[in-house]
Structure formats: structure tokens, C-alpha cells
Structure 1
Amino acid sequence: MILLLVVVVSSSASRMLPIAVPRPLVQIAFGAAIGLFSDIRVEFDAELFFLLLLPPLLFLDGWRIPKDELFKDRATVLELALGLVAFTVVGMGFFIHWLIPAMPLGVAFALAAVLSPTDPIAVSAIARRVPIPRRMMHILEGESLLNDATGLVCFRFAVAAVATGTFSPLAAGLTFGWVAAGGLAVGVGVALAILRLKEIVGRRFGEDSGSNILVSLLIPFAAYLTAEESGCSGILAAVGAGVTMSYVEATGQALALTRVRRRAVWDMIQFAANGVVFVLLGEQLPAIWPKAQQSAGLTGTSDPLWMIGYVLVIALGLTALRLLWAGVSMGITWFRTWRRLGLPAPSLMRLAIATACAGPRGAVTLAAVLTLPPTLPVGEPFPARDLAIFLAMGVIIVSILIAAVGLPLAMRGLDLPAEPSTDAEDDLARIAAAEAAIARIEEVQHAMAEGRADADRYVEIASRLMDLYRTRVENRSGDDPVRAREDEAIERVMRVAAVRASREAVLRLLIERRIGSAVATRLMQEFDLLEARYQA
């Protein structure tokens, strides 16, 4: 309850600040204040953290990310999610070992592995403050959804190498294939099975909104646990289940009211879980600092400035490797395709810098580094464990700062090709929807009026409704669709104003006790749905 209260307070505080500061940084600061000035302590269990917080968040990201855009840029996403992670693990592993010789090479590789995945939660939080092009945002989201498995497999083998002193590249490759492909397959299979069963029960016995929403909440946990028990990636299973959920939702199985309520529930869960992740990170920092100093003292570098310097150098090294990879990748892409679009080379370099800055670390890094075993199989302490944990936590904070400061600077005035317009697709969909509505109204009118003496009454009501849809078809298929869209925008503003006035009138009647609370509640819900519809 205290964590949730801090999430609410920190969210409000981030909006009150005179300068734009990403919400995760404010939440980390509030968490650190709790750890420093109170007796509240959260006994952090990394496995429990993975189970409770990551599956629903990754499931929701997989559910809501646009699939067409992700598939269109699949080559770039895979380059970042697979190639860049491997490049980062190797490059940063040797670099960290060179920077801190007392940290064994295997531990350095383990630290580099947990630092390699970017965090979808932090990426989304920062994107709300920065006008990132839609296509670039989809690439960054797709990368952060898929690179966790690569980083965690590398981390697992690095820890095993430290514990046993052996490493097999062939075994690592085979394990990665099983963990990644198996995790996605388990997630898709579990989601399909649960949703199919729900559909059968709903078709036969009716649908209940509350139980359907609860089923959607349980799916990511079922996928995660099933995959983990199978030795696969629970994280990718949650992502696969979310992607499957989006395709099943496209069939329109759930009732409209269920979808409205479920969206509200998931928005609340996303807000709360995102906040708890970063508050927990801040709360753990004060307890880790003295342990990290003690661990670093063995190397003769326990001075706080040295510790902070290590964090800054490692964070900058990660950004430099990401810039190098993004620059080469985008250069090849520009040479093949973008050159025909007339994108100048300076803009290409700015875009590579923006991509390099947009790599904040977060929840997966925090949870993974805390799973480092306290002791080796022989009973000796795991070398430099506390130092690795502190460095990972510090890099999370610095990487968010780099994204918060560097990304707006890199994107400012960046000249990019215009985003492809979706107006034609929107017009096509709305025309088809209106024509289908007209045809269905005619069918219902004939069915309801057949054999009745007051058949004209049904014809009149149907005609009034069909005129509304015919107007939409004429506007969208006319000579000036741009003016039609502007007219609809003006109409939406007026409709919203009318709905709000209606709500105020009902509230006045309630205050004056001229209507009961039950009637007022029902009308307020209707007005809320109408306003949400007009503002969508």
C-alpha cells in the first residue's frame, strides 16, 4: 500500500515540476528517499519480482504494439534485439574487465549481459515527453520486447561459467534457440487454449465482463509459469501471449462493454506496476551502497567518486556501442533504400544518435542482476557480486538520464521523411462500416416490422438512422475528404461540449435531490462512454 501511495505522489510530483523530468526518475528519487529516511524495507526477491510485475507489463506491450509496423521493420528489430545484444555483451564484458581488473572476466560478462536489454517500460515513459517518430518508436518497442531473452541467456551462461569454470558456445546457441522459440510457442499456445475455452463457455452460457477481465489478467501469469517450468523464456512467453491476444481480439469475440472495462483495468495495472518497478529500484539503492563499497574496497577503489565514475564510464560505453551499431546499421539501410527518399547524411547521423540515447535500462536489468548467487558451488562468495549489483543499478539511472536529456536534443529539428498518411485507410474503413450499418438496419427494420400494423413507425426510425450513416459515406467519398474530416473534428468538439453540459445538468439535479443517485450514476456512465467515444 505504501508503494502504491508513493507511485501516486511521485506521479503528481513529476507533473508539478517546472522542467520536464521523466516520471521514472522522480519515482526512483522517491524510492531512494524511503530507503534513506524511513525504516520501511522491502525484502527484494528477484524471482517474485519477475513473476508479479514483468508478465503483465510485457503481455500488455505485446498486446498493444502495432503488429503491421513491427513486422514491416522486423529486420531492424532483430538486428537490435539479437545482434546488438551479443555485440554489447562481448564488447562491454572485455571493457568492464579492463576497467575493473579485480572483477573476473566471467562476472564482467554477466554484468554486461544484464545491461544489454533495454526496458520497454522506461522507453514508453520517456516517449511521452519526447516527440519520437511513430516508426522509430515501434522499432524501439519491438527491440525492448525481444532483447530480454538474448540478454538473459547470455547472463545465465556467464554465471554458469563463473560457477563451473567451463563454457560451450554450441550449448549456448542451442539453449538460446530453445529458450526463445520455446518461450514464444508456449505463450501463443497457452493464450490460444485459454481464449478458446473462454469463447466456448461464453457462447454456451453467456459472457460475464468481470470473469473475462480476470481471465485476461491471469493469461500472462499462466504463460510465464508454463514456460519457466518448461525451461523456456517466461518473458517471451508473456510477450507471445500478448501478441496472440491482439489477434484474437481482432475477431471481436468480447462484448463492447467488456472491452471498455478491461481497457480501464489494464491502464490502471500498467500505471501501478510501472511505478512500483522504479520506486523499488530507488528503495534498494541505499542498502546496496555500503555493500558495494565493501566489495570494491577489496580492489582499492572504494572511494565514492571512483564508484560513480565506474557507473558513468560504463553507461557511456553502452551508449557508444549502441551508437556504433546503430550508425553502421542505418548507414547500410540508407545506402540501400533511404538514399532514394533524399534523407541527408547529417539527419542520418542525428537519427543514429537518437537511437543510441533511446536505450534506457530498467526492470529486467534490476531483477536479473539481483539473481546473482551469493555463493559459488564450492561455498566461496560470488566474486564482486555487490559491486556488480551497484553498477547495474547506477547504470539504470544514468541510462534514463541520457535518454531524458540526449533524446530531445537529438530529435530537435531532425529532418525526417514524412510519416505515411493513413487517411485513405481511415476513409475506406469508415465508408465500409457505414455501408454495413445501413444494410444491417434495413434487415432489422424488415424483421421487426413484418406483420405489424404500425410498420411505418419502424420505417421512419430506420430511415432516420440510415440518413446519419449515408451522410458519413457521402462525406468520406466526396470530392473534398479533407474538409469532411475537419467538419467531423468540429462536430466532435461540439458533441463533447454537449455531453459535458448534460453531465453538469444531471449533477445539479442530483445535488438538488430532484433525482436519485441510481439514475444519476447510470446517466453519468452513459455520458462517460459517449465522451470517451468522441475523444478517441
Structure 2
Amino acid sequence: MDTVTIVLVLLLAVVVSGAVSRMLPISLPTPLVQIALGAVIGLSVNYRVTLDPQLFLLLFLPPLLFLDGWRIPKDELLKDVSTVVELALGLVLLTVVGMGLFIHWMIPAMPLAVAFALAAVVSPTDPIAVSAIAARVPIPKRMMHILEGESLLNDASGLVCLRFAVAAALTGTFSASGAALNFLWVAGMGLAIGVIVTLAATRAKAWVTKRWGEDTGSQILVSLLIPFGSYLLAEHIHASGILAAVSAGVTMTFAEISRQAMAVTRMRRNSVWDTIQFSLNGIIFVLLGEQLPGILGGARETVALSGHAEPWWLAVYVIAIVAGLAALRFVWVWASLKLTILRKRSDAIAIQSPDWRLIAAMSLAGVRGAITLAGVLTLPLALDDGTPFPARDLAIFLATGVIIVSLVIASVGLPMLLKGLAMPPEPSKQAEEAAARVATAEAAIRAIEACQHALAETHGEADRYAAAGGRVMDLYRERIEGLAQGPSDAMRAEERLVREFRLVGVKAERAALVELARARQLGSEVARKLTRELDLSEARHRG
């Protein structure tokens, strides 16, 4: 019963944190509010959450990484794939090796394998935390695409490095050649299992739907089970469950293209996944805050592991690690952007060097968040011989400090750097969108004409079908004519006004609907249906 109660309290804290972060007069990121509320919970109740590392990893990481892989814009990612790979793989390896050696040098009492494990968990970045920080200063789209792609890949690469570091700590041995071969198996089979499970699940779902119809609830449940199934199957054969969840999410994008679900299923599924993403990310930060009093309470014992007596040494270590991570990231981002410019430079085209603010913003955006916390909490409690895992509490404290300090620094500095910052321009997609709209409209007209003829031949009354079909086809022809002429400034301005007027109309319709429902002149079922139609109309016009 206590477990259920604490889960409900954590969920309530997630809900409250969103409201509090909007109410505050200063731009305070939601993750920091969630950490603070979690700390209040930790100080207010006697019950403590005991986190099982493996259970924590299973519950939180597969759905979050699956959703990242599913929703990340693939085309935008491919445009800057070289930069993303350099940040997500090269920077992670540099961070694990460089920061691992630095941490071991700074804290000799921490074994080298544990130092590498700590460096591995602080290497992944968290774009959700960055988005929360820059909520009032929008991040340029191209920069956000790079950060999302980097986060998706470095989550996997960082956690795979963590796996090898933990294995070295448990066994006391490490073989570079053995690790390379093991990495190929772990990564290759993990990726393959994610693809296989997703394709098998979606094809089976499509086969059942084709013969017996589609059930929205079961469709949503299948999408929820795919990341967990991929993860568990991969872990069962000692492959990477993390990479399996990521590849399952990426595969889901392409599987859905050929096996489309009903519109209502997609809308409800998106709502469910939005809720899951919001809840899981929030709970992770609230749990961090809930664990904070215990972590700080044991600070004196924890600092003793490092060979010092004063607790303020822990703050020195955290600041040193944050500074080291920032320096490595700044140098790597600068070198990566320089290499990108050199690759694209030609004699005919001179590409301007990136603004220093762009490099600083990309460096500062390397905020650590949910994945770092989830990773460090998965450190084993004991070695194979039963002795406590060396410096585990110290590693958790330092990782927690890195998360909080990086969030605070970025919340102060990132909005200032982002203000007025412009990324290199992206090619316009208006022509691509217009061509797609024309093609779909022409296909719709052909289908309506075929349906007209079929109905007229079967039932007669050709005039009635011609009139009804003509009304619909006129809408498509207007779209084609408007797009063929090309959108002028006047047409764009008129279109904006049309959208504004439609939104005004939708708002009035909604108010009238509410009044009818309050006056009990409208049944709840009809009110729900009309409300849904107004929601879709508003979403369409705002988009």
C-alpha cells in the first residue's frame, strides 16, 4: 500500500511541477522544479523509495528511447548526420576516456572502471531539459534537430559504454579486443532485434486488423509493448536492450507508413504516448529530488570514500566534472563545425564561420538529465563476490550534482545565448509541400470521379451523384488552382486572416457549446462528439 501511495504522490508532484514552473515570475526549467518538489517529498515523508537498478532501467528507459527514435524527424536528422554522429559517438568516446581518466586522477579512491562508468553516464545529453530551459526563448529548429539526434544516439552509446565499464568493475578485467567483439554482438544484435520485433508486431497487427477490424485500445497497447518486448528479448540473449528500444522506435516510423492505423487510433495513441513521456521524465526528476535528502545526509560518509573529511570537497568535484565536460564539448563542437565547413567549402561558395555564440549555445545545451540519472542508478549494489560495489554512493552523488549544476548553468546562460541567434538557413519546404498537396488533391478527384461512375451505374440517378461529387471536387480544384498560381504575399496575408477568422469562429462555437451543455440542452455524447470536431478544427487551423 505504501508503494502505491508514493507512486501517486510522485505523479501528483509531476502535475504540480508543470503548473508551478508556469506560475513563477522567472524562467525556471520544469526539471529543477520537479527536483525541488521531490526533495520536499523526501523531507516530508518517512517512506523512502528503494530503487532496484534493473527494474528502474526496464521501466523508464525502453519507452523513452523508443519514443525518441519514433518521433525524431528523420529527414532533418539526415541533413546534419555527420555533425550528429560526431557529437553522439566521437564526443561520447572522448568523454568516457578523457573524463574517466580525469575523474580517476582527481579521486584516486574511485577505481578506474567505476570512473569510466561515471563518465559514461554523464556523457548523454537531455534535449527535454534543454527544451524546458529555452521554453521562453525558442531554440532554432535546426539546432534542436541536431540536439535531438545527438541525444538519441548518445543515450545508446553512453549506456553501452556504461555496460562495459560495469562489467570491467565486476570482473576486474578488461580486454580491448574482447570488448570490441562483444560490442559488435551487443550493438548489432540489439539493433536487429528492435527491427525484427517491430516488424513482426506491426505485421501481425495489420493481418488481424485486415480480417477482423481494428480495435483502438489493442492497437495502442501493442505500441506500448513493443519497446519492452524488444528490450527484454535483447537482454535475454545478452545484447543491448537500449539499442533494441531505439531501433524499434526508428523502425516504427517506417512500419507505420505501409500499415496505417485509423485516424482515431493515431490521435489517441499520440495522446497516450505524450502522457507517458511527460510522466516518466517528470517522475525521474522527482525521484532524483526524493533521493536527494538521503544522498546529502550521507555526504560525510560519501566524501570519506574520496579520502577527504570535509563535505565541501564533493562540491569541488562536481564543479570540476561539469567544467571538464563543458570544455570537452566546446572543443569538440568547434572542431566538428569547422570540419563540416571545410567539407562543404568550395572555390565558388564561401561559407561563413559559425558565430561563437552558436558554438557556446551548442556546448551549453549539453545538459544532463533523465538518462544520466537512470544510468547511474543502475550501478550494481554489489560485486560478484557479494562485496558492496566500490564508490557507488559517490558516483550517484557526483552524477546528481552534475545534473543539477548543468541545469542551473544552462537555465541562466542558454536563454541569453539563444536570444537573436540564427542558425544557417534551411532550404524551404514550400515547393515540396505544394507538390504533395497537388498530387493528393488530384488523386482525390480521380477517386471521387470513379466512385461517381460506379454509383451511377449501380443505382442510377447520375445527376444526384454528380452534384454531390462536384461539390467535393470543387474544393480540391480550388486547392490545385491556388497552389499552381504560387502563393503571393497578398495570398499569404489573406490565408493568415482566414485562419484567424476560423479560429475566432471555433472559439465562438466552443463557447456556445459549453452554454448548451451547462443548460442541459445537449446530451453528453453529442457534446463530446462536437467538442472533438472543434478540437480537430482548431488544431488544423493553428497548424
- TM-score, structure 1 normalization: 0.94
Of 517, 523, 534, 1:527 maps to: 534
Confirm whether residue 421 of structure 1 aligns to residue 420 of structure 2. no
Change (3 A) 1:441 1:144: same
Structure 2 unaligned regions, length at least 5: 1-7
Asked whether the 8 Å contact 1:341–1:417 carries over to 2, the reply is no
| Partner-residue secondary structure (3-state), 1:450 | helix
> Aligned ranges for residues 72-151 of structure 1 at < 5 Å?
72-126=79-133, 128-151=135-158
Q: Deviations over 1:9-37 (max 9, x none)?
A: 01000001111111111111111111123
Confirm whether residue 291 of structure 1 aligns to residue 298 of structure 2. yes
Change (3 A) 1:299 1:135: closer
Of 231, 234, 237, 2:241 maps to: 234
Change (3 A) 1:463 1:113: same
Confirm whether residue 385 of structure 1 aligns to residue 392 of structure 2. yes
* Aligned residue number for residue 247 of structure 1: 254
Change (3 A) 1:475 1:112: same
Of 187, 196, 204, 1:180 maps to: 187
| Partner-residue secondary structure (3-state), 1:477 | helix
CA RMSD in angstroms, aligned pairs only: 2.1
The Cα shift of 1:410 comes to 2.7
Asked whether the 8 Å contact 2:134–2:415 carries over to 1, the reply is no
The Cα shift of 1:169 comes to 0.8
* Aligned residue number for residue 38 of structure 2: 31
Asked whether the 8 Å contact 2:303–2:313 carries over to 1, the reply is no
The Cα shift of 1:403 comes to 2.7
Give the stretch that moved more between structures: 186-195 or 525-534. Answer: 525-534
* Aligned residue number for residue 271 of structure 1: 278
The Cα shift of 1:75 comes to 2.0
Q: How far, CA to CA, are the matches of 2:93 and 2:276 in structure 1? A: 33
Asked whether the 8 Å contact 2:159–2:242 carries over to 1, the reply is no
Matching residue's letter, 1:39: N
Q: Deviations over 1:193-213 (max 9, x none)?
A: 000000000001111111111
Matching residue's letter, 2:176: P
* Aligned residue number for residue 332 of structure 1: 339
Q: Deviations over 1:61-100 (max 9, x none)?
A: 1111111121232222221222111111111112112222
Q: How far, CA to CA, are the matches of 1:506 and 1:416 in structure 2? A: 44
Q: Deviations over 1:331-379 (max 9, x none)?
A: 122223268765543x443222222111112222222222333333444
* Aligned residue number for residue 21 of structure 1: 28
Matching residue's letter, 1:260: M
Confirm whether residue 431 of structure 1 aligns to residue 434 of structure 2. no
The Cα shift of 1:439 comes to 1.6
Using CA pairs under 8 Å that are at least 6 residues apart, name the structure with larger relative contact order, 1 or 2. Answer: 2
Give the stretch that moved more between structures: 274-283 or 440-449. Answer: 440-449
Of 462, 482, 489, 1:455 maps to: 462
Change (3 A) 1:495 1:201: same
Asked whether the 8 Å contact 1:55–1:221 carries over to 2, the reply is yes
Q: How far, CA to CA, are the matches of 1:362 and 1:73 in structure 2? A: 24
* Aligned residue number for residue 358 of structure 1: 365
Change (3 A) 1:479 1:187: closer
Q: How far, CA to CA, are the matches of 2:230 and 2:276 in structure 1? A: 18
The Cα shift of 1:513 comes to 2.8
Asked whether the 8 Å contact 1:343–1:416 carries over to 2, the reply is no
The Cα shift of 1:298 comes to 4.5
Change (3 A) 1:221 1:87: same
| Partner-residue secondary structure (3-state), 1:111 | helix
Asked whether the 8 Å contact 2:227–2:249 carries over to 1, the reply is yes
Percent of aligned pairs sharing the same letter: 60
Matching residue's letter, 2:78: F
Q: How far, CA to CA, are the matches of 1:526 and 1:209 in structure 2? A: 18
Asked whether the 8 Å contact 1:331–1:348 carries over to 2, the reply is no
The Cα shift of 1:299 comes to 4.0
Asked whether the 8 Å contact 1:476–1:484 carries over to 2, the reply is no
Matching residue's letter, 2:11: L
Change (3 A) 1:501 1:341: farther
The Cα shift of 1:120 comes to 4.2
Change (3 A) 1:400 1:212: same
Q: How far, CA to CA, are the matches of 2:288 and 2:305 in structure 1? A: 26
Confirm whether residue 50 of structure 1 aligns to residue 57 of structure 2. yes
* Aligned residue number for residue 477 of structure 1: 484
Asked whether the 8 Å contact 1:123–1:141 carries over to 2, the reply is no
> Aligned ranges for residues 305-320 of structure 1 at < 5 Å?
305-320=312-327
Q: How far, CA to CA, are the matches of 2:291 and 2:63 in structure 1? A: 22
- TM-score, structure 2 normalization: 0.93
Asked whether the 8 Å contact 2:197–2:230 carries over to 1, the reply is yes
Confirm whether residue 163 of structure 1 aligns to residue 170 of structure 2. yes
The Cα shift of 1:499 comes to 2.4
The Cα shift of 1:283 comes to 0.9
Change (3 A) 1:38 1:461: same
Asked whether the 8 Å contact 2:193–2:244 carries over to 1, the reply is yes
Q: How far, CA to CA, are the matches of 1:371 and 1:508 in structure 2? A: 53
Q: How far, CA to CA, are the matches of 1:288 and 1:189 in structure 2? A: 41
Confirm whether residue 196 of structure 1 aligns to residue 171 of structure 2. no
Change (3 A) 1:341 1:522: same
Asked whether the 8 Å contact 2:101–2:116 carries over to 1, the reply is yes
Change (3 A) 1:520 1:441: same
Of 5, 9, 14, 2:16 maps to: 9
Q: How far, CA to CA, are the matches of 1:111 and 1:281 in structure 2? A: 16
Q: How far, CA to CA, are the matches of 2:340 and 2:83 in structure 1? A: 9
Confirm whether residue 373 of structure 1 aligns to residue 380 of structure 2. yes
Asked whether the 8 Å contact 1:28–1:278 carries over to 2, the reply is yes
Q: Deviations over 1:195-237 (max 9, x none)?
A: 0000000001111111111111111111111111121221211
| Partner-residue secondary structure (3-state), 1:166 | coil
The Cα shift of 1:238 comes to 1.2
